[in-house]
Amino acid sequence: MLVAPSILSADFGNLARDVKAICDAGCDLVHVDVMDGHFVPNLTIGPVVVESVAKAATKPLDIHLMVENNTFFVELFAPLKPRYITFHIEEEKHPHRLIQKIKTYGIKAGIVLNPHTRPESVEYLLEELDMVLLMSVNPGFGGQSFIPSVIKKAARLAKLRDELNPECLIEVDGGVNDKNVGALKEAGVDVVVAGSYVFKHASYKEAIESLKV
């Protein structure tokens, strides 16, 4: 299992320090939650702050857009050269076009599904995708409880993925901890995002290792 700590639960007064610390502790990706106050009822960070995160990070960035105007935000963040940009399918009329656009920057493209969205909604996009991110909470906030139905959904998506594009990673985001990571692994998940679980742990290294099942 690859581990992507969400910096939403970091200490924003010491963001560079925390980003360095999770990278030193062995994370695989640095998960950056971008919220616009419209698609979700919360507002986080823009390119100025993410640039500082990119400078502090020794691991690639995984940018999760929770915004209304995806194309605008893709153009804003692409110059920071994240490894992944993922966007919500619920908020995009032309997901196929946006996947192509993200790839023209040399960035891997992913689609995010809210808890109610069917895994089949990405069936005809899977061959183009580098990642599908399944939300296991309603997007907007860290520290929420894991929605268990995502396990079945991940297993269904993993079947489609194995058939259509085995290279595409499945990521799960929200309420992930050492208790549910085993079931996610069994369902075929490749990457977990963990915010509060990692940042509330006394040792980031121990927390990250406990998720590498």
Q: What are the residues binding ligand DX5 (CB under 6 A)?
A: 6, 8-9, 31, 33, 64, 137, 139-144, 173-176, 193-197
Does an H or E element contain 104, and which? Answer: helix 95-104
Task: Give me the catalytic one of 18, 33, 62, 190.
Answer: 33
In the structure encoding, which two tokens stand for residue 149, read together? Answer: 């139905």
Any contact of residue 88 with Zn ion (CB under 5 A)?
Answer: no
Smaller CB separation from Zn ion, 25 or 33? 33
Q: Estimate to the nearest angstrom the gap between the alpha carbon of 152 and the chain centroid.
A: 19
Give the helix, strand, coil percentages of the chain, each rounded to 5.
45, 20, 35
CA distances from 207 to 142, 181, 199 (A): 16, 12, 8
CB of 163 to ligand DX5, least distance (A): 28
Smaller CB separation from ligand DX5, 38 or 97? 38
Touching Zn ion, residues 6-45 (CB under 5 A) = 33
Task: Say how many C-beta atoms besides its own lie within 10 A of residue 30's C-beta.
Answer: 27
Any contact of residue 173 with Zn ion (CB under 5 A)?
Answer: yes
CB of 171 to ligand DX5, least distance (A): 10
Smaller CB separation from Zn ion, 158 or 172? 172
Q: Is 173 a catalytic residue?
A: yes
Q: Which residues contact 101 (CB under 8 A, 6 or more apart)?
A: 71, 74
In the structure encoding, which two tokens stand for residue 46, read together? Answer: 């823009």
Q: Site residues (CB under 5 A) for Zn ion?
A: 33, 64, 173
Catalytic residues: 33, 173
